[in-house]
Amino acid sequence: MMEAQKLYERARLNPTSDMIDPTINVEDHNKNCFAGIARTAIKMGDMQRGFSLANEINENNLIIDIAGVCEQMKQWTEAAKLYQKGGLVEKAASIYIQIGMFSAANPLIDKISSPAILVMVAKAKESEKNFREAERIFEKANDYENMIRLNLD
């Protein structure tokens, strides 16, 4: 045991060129490690640390993975924020609407193309008594039936 520690210390103090693998991209390695730490922290209940680490990562695939872990842990707000950062705007908007954070979904409306999500947004606008905006979103979703219903009421 002592000899192994001495070898380790000697290697740390005097790294030789044959110890460093030139095929390893250290930055990618570190990003993957930080993403793993973030996922693990979230799974262990340390949401603040995990979310903080996730916000430092700039690779969409890793951010989306971490958002999925947040979603599994029922941390909806954090999951939506990370999905939005990762580029899955429709997924983020869907979560915001499901948890009732309509104001957070508003800036995402123009980026949404899914009719199902647009209808959810429009119904949320309708429940807020914002009928003009609901009508505009129903029209964008090609839901003319609800658009006509709004105008008849």
Q: Is residue 149 situated within a structural domain?
A: yes
> Based on the domain organization, do 34 and 91 belong to the same domain?
yes
User: Do 68 and 133 share a structural domain?
Assistant: no
- Residue 111: CB atoms within 10 A of its CB come to 12
144 domain-assigned: yes
pLDDT in tens, 80-106: 999 999 999 989 999 998 898 888 888
Whether residue 85 is found in the same domain as residue 38: yes
Calpha distance 108→92 (Å, rounded): 9
Cβ count within 10 A of residue 74 = 7
Give the confidence band of 20 by pLDDT, cuts at 50, 70, 90. low
62 and 85 assigned to the same domain = yes
Structural domain includes residue 128: yes
Kindly indicate the confidence band of residue 65, based on its pLDDT and cuts at 50, 70 and 90: very high
**The total number of structural domains that make up the chain:** 2
Distance of CA 126 to the CA centre of its chain: 27
What is the distance between the alpha carbons of residues 151 and 145, in angstroms, rounded to a whole number?
10
Could you tell me which of 126, 141, 135, 80 has the C-alpha nearest to residue 107?
Answer: 80
- Residues 33 and 96 placed together within one structural domain of the fold: yes
| Structural domain of 140 | 113-153
The reply to whether 41 and 84 lie within a common domain is yes
pLDDT of residue 64: 93
Q: How confident is the model at residue 143 (pLDDT cuts 50, 70, 90)?
A: confident
What is the C-alpha separation between 50 and 62, in angstroms, rounded? 13
Segment 102-132, tens digit of pLDDT: 888 888 888 888 888 888 888 888 888 888 8
User: Is residue 15 domain-resident?
Assistant: no
Q: What's the pLDDT tens digit per position in 34-63?
A: 889 889 989 998 889 888 888 888 889 999
Whether 124 and 88 share a structural domain: no
Q: Who wins on pLDDT, 90 or 151?
A: 90
Q: Which helix (H) or strand (E) holds 80?
A: helix 76-86
Measured distance CA(30)–CA(19) in Å, rounded: 18
Give the CATH number, domain containing residue 93: 1.25.40.10
Residues 72 and 132 in one domain: no
Quote the tokens at residue 121.
Answer: 């947004």
